[in-house]
Amino acid sequence: MSIVANAAGVEVMQSPLAAHGKTIPAERLGLLTQTDPAIGIRAIRRRYEEDGYVWLKGLLPRAEVIDFRRWVFARLADTGLLAPGYDLALGIAAVGSVDWNLANRMMMSLVRSAAYEGFCAQPKLVRFMDAFLQGISYLHKRKLMRYVQPGTAMATPAHYDLVYLRGGTSRLVTAWIPIGDIPAEMGGLVYLEGSHALGRRMEADFQANSGTLSPEERISAYNSQMAEGGWISKDLPDIAERFNARWLAADYEAGDVVLHSPYIIHAATNNEDRTRRLRLSTDIRYQNVDDEIDARWSNHWSLGDML
Ligand SMILES: O=C(O)CCC(=O)C(=O)O
């Protein structure tokens, strides 16, 4: 656990979080608020509107999520990613070299697998999303699954999701699902507090200034007006300072689901797990089927698909 109660009973972060060579100062770190799914769909929707996210504790059966983690790592074992001799559900990273070609090919197979499809479309989640979206929920076919090795510099830079999905409705909802426990020091998502309003303003500015771009560029994250990759920045302390906000972190557990707004600014921090566990998660996007669908997301994720 990265988050513990101090002598006064207040929950605090045990160790600092860092990404891209920069450590987030303690005064710029806060804790994500968790939500018990039992409070009901109306209250959940209200929290999502207010905060730009809702961290649903234990929405999915924990044991099934861990079984799926084991299944994924069993398929990746031949790549050299996993240390031998451990239960694959632990996902302990090997120290030797990895066959990246094989790992990439295997990940592309995994995101096309019936097992992953079933995980993302499990009845509990689908029923929840139907209620949340007040209609028939549509799950975008392009779904991402990511692993992060401990002790590496890999961490998703700060961004908001609409940048990658400008070709359809903005009434999108991302579900970020930890596949296994992801305590804060393992580099789960951090959210810039209250930044869904900021993302909305940034998007309005982009739209207002995009008149010189071609129609394709106007919906692409890769255009002359965006930073490389559509990111806002890799410097998390600087963003927090600039916008006078805190990064909210959490100890996520298998079974949790975080829903976030397409405007909220979020990022990941380094995986610094001392027991060398691989961080595994999936991020998938839902919307109401009656809203306009971004056709570019109607294919499976391919590496280098520029979305
Ligand atoms: O898991 C990650 O590192 C990034 C996920 C993400 O950016 C998202 O869920 O929108």
Report CA-CA distances (Å) from 291 to 28, 133, 169, 175: 37, 11, 6, 18
pLDDT > 80? residue 5? no
Determine the pLDDT at residue 244.
97
> Is pLDDT at 101 greater than 90 in this prediction?
yes
pLDDT digits (tens, 9 = 90+) for 9-45: 777 777 789 999 999 999 999 999 999 999 999 999 9
pLDDT of residue 2: 76
Q: How many residues does the chain have?
A: 307
- Quick one: pLDDT at residue 1? 63
| Burial degree of 244 (CB within 10 A; 0-12, 13-18, 19+) | exposed
Distance 291 CA to ligand 1 centre (A): 23
Q: Ligand 1 centre and the CA of 190: distance in Å?
A: 9
Spatial separation of the C-alpha atoms in residues 76 and 105, rounded to whole Å? 10
How far apart CA 222 and CA 164 sit, in angstroms, is: 9
Measured in Å, residue 177 CA sits from the centre of ligand 1 at 9
Q: Judge whether residue 172 has pLDDT over 80.
A: yes
Domains delineated in the chain: 23-289 (2.60.120.620)
* Average pLDDT, rounded, for the chain: 94
Strand partners, 174: 260, 285
pLDDT digits (tens, 9 = 90+) for 231-290: 899 999 999 999 999 999 999 999 999 999 999 999 999 999 999 999 999 999 999 999
Ligand 1 centre to CA of 7 (Å) is 34
How do strand 34-35 and strand 53-56 relate by DSSP bridges? Answer: parallel
User: What residues flank ligand 1, with Cβ below 6 Å?
Assistant: 146, 156, 161, 174, 176, 189, 266, 268, 281, 283
Asked whether the beta carbons of 168 and 224 are under 8 A apart, the reply is no
Segment 68-97 shows an average pLDDT of: 97
Q: Best of 177, 281, 286, 307 to mutate for ligand 1, by most ligand atoms within 8 A of CB?
A: 281
pLDDT of 221: 77
Ligand 1 center–CA 110 separation, angstroms: 18
Inform me whether the pLDDT recorded for 105 exceeds 90.
yes
